[in-house]
């Protein structure tokens, strides 16, 4: 009997019925619909990983280690698998005999090296630094091959242009919304590789302070700002004390401060901007009922401790902190195109990526970008630009709180 024939009850348990994609086992036998992506089980260990961690995390562990592979369009395969959810009446007990017969039952395989291993209290300064280091303290050359020349690692703003034009359009949009003019002091909270700091200083004449927790990002950003009125600091937002600033931007950093700390974060932004000054937050959101951290894969490999909420809840938290929201701009469809562009860059320079971060690391990124694009496409995640203003002193606008 072939492996897939023996596996039939186990596959039914894993997928809640017939496999949504074609399955090829290690003996070459196949089952499932033809004409689309093929999920390749390279060894028994692939299924052992899934049995020990049923669902998204088990499949991710099998994929990033190469125990499981996908031939064809990875995003299409993820889309098909995502719709398959085992029901409560799936006869898991039927899966035991074929699992034993094929030697799948056994101790849990060792977790992949690329998983985050953290300790300490969530969102303590020390742990936040460790989380950022896990994702960003890799060679900057890897991000250079993934991103466009602006090094913007956040959702672009597309019209008809390519990624580089769309990222420039996003940076311009932020600067215009903030009303930047020569000599204005801008605080960039979570400045990344320096894309906004460089753009705001070079194109709008702003005097920029950028803060990040990543030593790698800070060093790279400093190398870009020679001759510009920009200071880059390795600093937690809770440590910044040199306000007031004329304007503040925080681009896709607010997701990482945590649910309990978000009121602290919002209040900190308010205290650091001058009365009447604007604050622009570009931040990911989630559909009600979706995982706040993005799901087991994201929480284990990409952004541990991340917390997203429906955008209306974020608006309420900002308002409670004394920041009056003036404008809300949804960019969910733009993130689909952004992630797809990054995926194309990764595939075009795959061998370079593997040389920089290893095969397992590159496979993590391939899965992350394909899965991320799908999450935004399906509406489970969103991203929004929120423009808020600290009301002038003695104003009744917003909550009217003062520092």
Q: Which residues contact 138 (CB under 8 A, 6 or more apart)?
A: 216, 356, 357, 361
Q: What is the pLDDT of residue 91?
A: 53
89 and 144: one domain?
no
Domain limit, last residue, from 67, 101, 135 = 101
Of 18-22, 79-83, 217-221, highest mean pLDDT: 217-221
The reported pLDDT for the residue numbered 348 is: 97
Query: Mean pLDDT across the stretch 72-77?
Result: 88
* Of 173, 175, 172, 151, residue with least CA distance to 163: 151
Same domain, yes or no: 168 and 272? yes
Q: What pLDDT digit, counting tens, does each position of 149-203 carry?
A: 999 999 999 987 799 999 999 999 999 999 999 999 999 999 999 999 999 999 9
Range of the domain at 95: 3-101
Residue 400 confidence class, pLDDT cut points 50, 70, 90: very low
79 and 219 part of one domain: no
Share of the chain above pLDDT 90, in %: 68
pLDDT at 369: 95
Residue 401: the pLDDT is 42
pLDDT of residue 96: 77
Q: Tell whether 175 and 31 lie within a shared domain.
A: no
Is residue 90 located within the same domain as residue 140? Answer: no
23 assigned to some structural domain: yes
CATH code of the domain covering residue 312: 3.40.50.150
Considering only CA atoms, which of 228, 226, 151 is closest in space to residue 195? 151
pLDDT-derived band at 402 (thresholds 50, 70, 90) equals very low
Contact between 244 and 107 under an 8 Å Cβ cutoff? The reply is no
pLDDT at 8 over 50: yes
Q: Are residues 33 and 77 in the same domain?
A: yes
Residue 198 domain-assigned (yes or no):
yes
CA distance 248 to 208: 10
Rounded mean pLDDT, 113-124: 88
The verdict on whether omega for the bond into residue 326 sits within 30 degrees of 0, i.e. cis, is no
Q: Is residue 394 part of a domain?
A: no
> Same structural domain for residues 20 and 142?
no
CA distance 10 to 101: 11
For residues 234-261, b (16+ Cβ closer than 10 Å) or e, as one string?
Answer: ebbbeebeebebbbbbbbbbbbbbbbeb
89 and 175 share one domain: no
Region 227-238: what's the mean pLDDT?
Answer: 97
Distance CA 153, CA 372 (A): 14
Indicate whether 230 and 268 sit together in one domain: yes
Instruction: Indicate if 42 and 143 belong to the same structural domain.
Output: no
**Count: domains in the chain:** 2
**Choice among 27-36, 127-136, 234-243, 293-302 with the minimum mean pLDDT:** 127-136
Co-location of 41 and 176 in the same domain:
no
Confirm whether 132 is domain-assigned: yes
| pLDDT tens digits, 295-338 | 888 989 988 889 999 999 999 999 999 999 999 999 999 999 99
What 8-state DSSP symbol labels residue 204? H
Q: What is the pLDDT of residue 398?
A: 46
Residue 396 located in a structural domain: no
> Does the pLDDT at position 121 exceed 90?
no
Q: Is residue 115 part of a domain?
A: no
Q: Are residues 310 and 175 in the same domain?
A: yes
Bridge partners for 374 per DSSP: none
Residue 399 lies in a domain: no
- pLDDT recorded at residue 93: 65
Q: Is residue 112 part of a domain?
A: no
């Amino acid at each position: 009997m072939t492996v897939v024939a023996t596996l039939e009850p186990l596959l039914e348990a894993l997928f809640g019925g017939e496999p949504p994609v074609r399955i090829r086992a290690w003996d070459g036998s196949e089952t499932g619909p033809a004409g689309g992506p093929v999920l390749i089980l390279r060894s028994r260990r692939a299924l052992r990983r899934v049995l020990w961690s049923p669902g998204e995390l088990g499949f991710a562990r099998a994929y990033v280690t190469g125990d499981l592979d996908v031939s064809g369009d990875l995003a299409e395969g993820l889309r098909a698998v995502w719709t398959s959810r085992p029901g409560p009446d799936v006869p898991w007990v039927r899966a035991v005999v074929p699992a034993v017969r094929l030697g799948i039952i056994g101790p849990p395989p060792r977790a992949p090296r690329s998983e985050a291993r953290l300790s300490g209290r969530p969102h303590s300064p020390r742990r936040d630094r460790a989380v950022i280091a896990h994702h960003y303290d890799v060679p900057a050359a890897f991000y250079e091959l993934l991103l466009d020349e602006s090094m913007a690692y956040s959702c672009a703003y597309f019209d008809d242009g390519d990624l580089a034009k769309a990222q420039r359009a996003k940076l311009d949009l932020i600067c215009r919304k903030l009303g930047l003019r020569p000599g204005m002091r801008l605080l960039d909270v979570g400045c990344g590789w320096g894309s906004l700091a460089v753009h705001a200083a070079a194109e709008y004449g702003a005097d920029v302070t950028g803060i990040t927790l990543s030593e790698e990002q800070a060093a790279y950003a400093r190398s870009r700002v020679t001759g510009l009125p920009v200071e880059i600091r390795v600093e937690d937002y809770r440590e910044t004390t040199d306000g007031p600033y004329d304007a503040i931007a925080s681009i896709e950093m607010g997701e990482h401060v945590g649910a309990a700390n978000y009121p602290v974060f919002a209040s900190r932004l308010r205290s650091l901007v001058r009365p009447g000054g604007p604050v622009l937050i570009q931040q990911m959101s989630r559909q009600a009922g979706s995982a706040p951290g993005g799901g087991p894969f994201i929480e284990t490999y990409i952004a541990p401790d991340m917390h997203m909420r429906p955008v209306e809840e974020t608006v309420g938290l900002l308002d409670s902190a004394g920041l009056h929201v003036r404008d809300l701009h949804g960019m969910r469809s733009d993130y689909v195109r952004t992630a797809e562009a990054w995926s194309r860059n990764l595939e075009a320079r795959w061998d370079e990526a593997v040389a920089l971060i290893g095969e397992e690391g590159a496979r993590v990124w391939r899965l992350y970008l394909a899965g991320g694009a799908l999450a935004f496409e399906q509406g489970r995640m969103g991203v929004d630009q929120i423009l808020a203003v600290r009301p002038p002193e003695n104003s009744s606008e917003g909550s009217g709180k003062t520092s």
